[in-house]
Structure 1
Amino acid sequence: MIKNREMRAKKFFHSRLSLLRLSCQSLFALFCLFIGWQFYSFYLWALDPITHQYVARPPSVEAFLPLGALVSLKRLFLGAGFDTIHPAGLTIFIAALLISLFLRKGFCGWICPVGFFSNMVERFSKKTGILLSLPAWIDIPLLSLKYLLLGFFSYLILWNMGLEDLTDFHRSSYNLISDAKMLHFFLHPSTLAGSIMLGILLISFVLRNFWCRYLCPYGGLLGILALISPFQVKRAPETCIDCKKCEDACPSSIRITRKTTVRNAECIGCLECVQVCPAQKCLTLAVPGTKDTNLLLLPGLLLGLFFTCYIIALISGHWHSHVPNEVFQHYYQLIDTIGHP
Structure 2
Amino acid sequence: MASTIGDLGEFGLIERVTARFPRTDDVILGPGDDAAVVRAPDRRVVASTDMLVEGRHFRRDWSTPRDIGHKAVAQNFADVAAMGARPTTLLIGLGVPADLAVDWADEFAAGVAAECATAGGTVVGGDTVRSDTVVVSVTALGDLGGRAEVRRDGARPGDVVAVAGRLGLSAAGLALLDRGLDAPEACLREHRRPRPPYAEGPRAALLGATAMLDVSDGLVQDLGHLCAASGVTIDLERAALVPPPELRAAAAALAGERSADATALMLAGGEDHALAATFPPGTELPDAWTRIGTVAPRSAEADAAAAPAVTVDGRPTDAAGWRHFG
TM-score tier by shorter-chain length is under 0.3
Q: Name which one, 1 or 2, has greater alpha-carbon Rg.
A: 1
Structure in which a larger fraction of residues adopt strand? 2
**How does the TM-score come out when normalised to structure 2?**
0.24
**How does the TM-score come out when normalised to structure 1?**
0.24
